[in-house]
């Protein structure tokens, strides 16, 4: 039987080799570029505003990897991007300045939505012109 007093994961101070300032810098830059605030990022990622605030200030409070993954996903980075920044590994999917596959897909979805909207408006204009032409005496 498992010991009920087994410690669970708790936040703790920084570990050698972890660069929380780099995480803060990457997070702040991405939020600024995407024009997303703490409240919105908290809503999308499911991470509390207070945790985001601490990460943005590079306070060095350790958070679980799943928290960093949730934030990375919300900012449309590869899942492990912030973890790689934290341990100073170069990102696998290009630099933060290059769009990721998820970003490209999101842009394509926006283009398709806009194209659908333009097509609908064009159809409405064509119908209006057709109706106007049918009412005009010959």
pLDDT at 16: 66
How confident is the prediction for the chain on average, in pLDDT? 81
Q: Which fold has domain 9-94?
A: 434 Repressor (Amino-terminal Domain) (1.10.260)
Give one DSSP letter per residue of the chain, joined into a string: ---TTPPPP------TT--HHHHHHHHHHHHHHHT--HHHHHHHH---HHHHHHHHTT------HHHHHHHHHHTT--TTHHHHHHTTPPPSS--TTSPPHHHHHHHHHHHHHHHHHHHHHHHHHHHHHHHHHHHS--
Q: What is the pLDDT of residues 60-76, one digit of tens each?
A: 677 889 999 999 999 99
Tell me what the mean pLDDT of segment 116-131 comes to: 92
pTM here?
0.55
Question: Above 60 in pLDDT, residue 20?
Answer: yes
Please write the tens of the pLDDT for every residue from 38-54: 999 999 999 999 999 99
């Amino acid at each position: 039987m498992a010991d009920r007093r087994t410690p669970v994961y708790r936040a703790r101070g920084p570990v050698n080799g972890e660069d929380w300032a780099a995480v803060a810098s990457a997070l702040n830059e991405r939020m600024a570029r995407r024009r997303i605030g703490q409240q919105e990022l908290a809503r999308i990622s499911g991470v509390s505003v207070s945790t985001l605030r601490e990460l943005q200030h590079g306070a060095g409070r350790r958070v679980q990897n799943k928290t960093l993954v949730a934030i990375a996903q919300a900012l449309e980075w590869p899942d492990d991007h912030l973890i790689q920044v934290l341990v100073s590994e170069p990102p696998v999917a290009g630099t933060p300045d290059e769009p990721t596959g998820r970003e490209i897909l999101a842009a394509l979805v926006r283009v398709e939505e806009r194209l659908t909207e333009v097509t609908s408006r064009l159809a409405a204009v064509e119908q209006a012109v057709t109706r106007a032409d049918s009412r005009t005496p010959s």
